[in-house]
Amino acid sequence: MLEIDSLTKTYARRAAVDRVSFSVARGEVLGFLGPNGAGKSTTMRMIAGVILPDAGDARIDGHSITAARAAAQARLGYLPEGAPLYEDMTPPEFLAFLASARDMPGPGRRRAIDRAIADTRISGVTAKPIGALSKGYRRRVGLAGALLHDPPVLVLDEPTDGLDPNQKRAVRALIARLAPERAILISTHTLEEVPAMCHRALVVDHGRIVADGAPEDLAGEDTLEEAFRKLTRQEDDAQAEAV
């Protein structure tokens, strides 16, 4: 349902994303891992059609993000890092605005908003302006927006950022419920969450894929954190260790 074919993006002659290719099937949750600056967010922004690739393509439920961007985006739920929110709106007002922007039919709009609120467990803060909410609740409002139109593909950048342990468990349970009928790509720096949420993990470094497999296979006899460190050892890290 999500096919990435040789995506490439260069900034100032440096390849931020270098011919990255992978796919995510229906029913699969893929953990998208890598250190800061590895190209994860750039890749996800290209998948979402926020920026255009210099080369390559992404297909969302069969629709090209370069040749049929609107059709592809209609089938995608995207939660970027630091998702923009209108802080003077309440969560239902924000979701109603998103529903209107997506031209969702009137009869199903209220049901979609109620479902997104229930799924992300924000019913207790629906009367408050978003600007008055904690970071964790604001993140859940952003997640509700990504789920609002019931898309077949989800791309979630740090979906549990700022959440407390109970909230993180609730999001993991939600992802498990959503997964059977969707393809889900999740970026996270919280490596202990990967085995709990993801069927498969893909590691990128310097814009290229350096590992792809089940979390337990990538870890081997190490912890996933140790395996990640070995796979993504940066030059300045190596220099620091040598001092």
pLDDT tens, the chain, 243 aa long: 999 999 999 998 889 999 999 999 999 999 999 998 889 999 999 999 999 999 999 999 999 999 999 999 999 999 998 778 999 999 999 999 999 999 988 878 999 999 999 989 899 999 999 999 988 899 889 999 999 999 999 999 988 887 888 888 888 888 898 899 999 999 988 888 899 889 999 999 999 999 999 998 988 878 888 888 888 875 445 444 443
**Would you kindly state where each structural domain of the chain is located, as residue ranges?**
2-75+152-242, 82-150
> In the CATH hierarchy, which top-level class contains the domain 2-75+152-242?
alpha beta
What is the rounded CA–CA span in Å between residue 182 and residue 31?
14
**Other C-beta atoms within 10 Å of 30: how many?**
23
For residues 53 and 72, give the distance between their C-alpha atoms in angstroms, rounded to a whole number: 15
Spatial distance between the Cα atoms of 53 and 41, rounded to a whole number of angstroms: 13
The pTM of this model reads: 0.88
